[in-house]
Amino acid sequence: MLLAPLGAAAQALTPWSGGATPPLVLTALDGRQHALTDYRGRVVLVNFWATWCAPCRAEMPSIERLRRSLEGEPFAVLAVNVSEDAAAVRAFADRVPMGFPLLLDRDAQVTRAWRARALPMTFIIDPEGRIRYQAIGERDWADVDIRSRLRALMPGARPLESARLAQ
């Protein structure tokens, strides 16, 4: 597993061209099971991360700010921790409050299926369950352009706005 370069040189999200969305079914730190299919109808940010990854830790507060800014809209965050035990993840969560599920991929099978070869790595899933964008490396997820791109994917987005922002 590689660390992505520090400092998101470009806040841009890269359009996805890697094929179908792999399955994602994992247990969260709180013991609940989450499947990506449970989130149909919403835009979902799927973030692969680890507590030992400095850029991962640095971007978590901005992911939480993004989540809060889109509260009440069809949006969700799933943070997939890669290969760490629950105690390490819980210790991090106790220091950095987050209002989204922290999923445990202890054997990294889901991480491999998603081809997340660097951390942090993030995928944006549309309401139909298709990957639309990927981002390798740290981002300021509360960035206005990123939030606009996510809103453009949401049900009811104006077609003109969606087409313009998808480019």
The residue with tokens 């449970």 is 38
Distance CA 150, CA 132 (A): 10
Positions of E strands within the chain: 2-3, 14-15, 25-28, 33-35, 43-49, 75-82, 102-105, 118-119, 121-125, 131-136
Q: What domains are defined for the chain?
A: 13-165 (3.40.30.10)
One digit per residue, pLDDT tens: the chain, 167 residues?
555 554 444 468 999 999 999 999 999 999 999 999 999 999 999 999 999 999 999 999 999 999 999 999 999 999 999 999 999 999 999 999 999 999 999 999 999 999 999 999 999 999 999 999 999 999 999 999 999 999 999 998 865 444 444 44
Measured between alpha carbons, how far is residue 28 from residues 37, 65, 101 in Å? 15, 20, 6
Quick one: how far is CA 56 from the chain centroid? 11
Q: According to the model, what pLDDT value does residue 19 have?
A: 92
pTM of the model: 0.90
Beta bridge partners of 103: 28, 80
Q: According to the model, what pLDDT value does residue 12 have?
A: 80
Q: According to the model, what pLDDT value does residue 51 have?
A: 98
Q: According to the model, what pLDDT value does residue 78 have?
A: 99
Q: According to the model, what pLDDT value does residue 94 have?
A: 97
Q: According to the model, what pLDDT value does residue 165 have?
A: 47
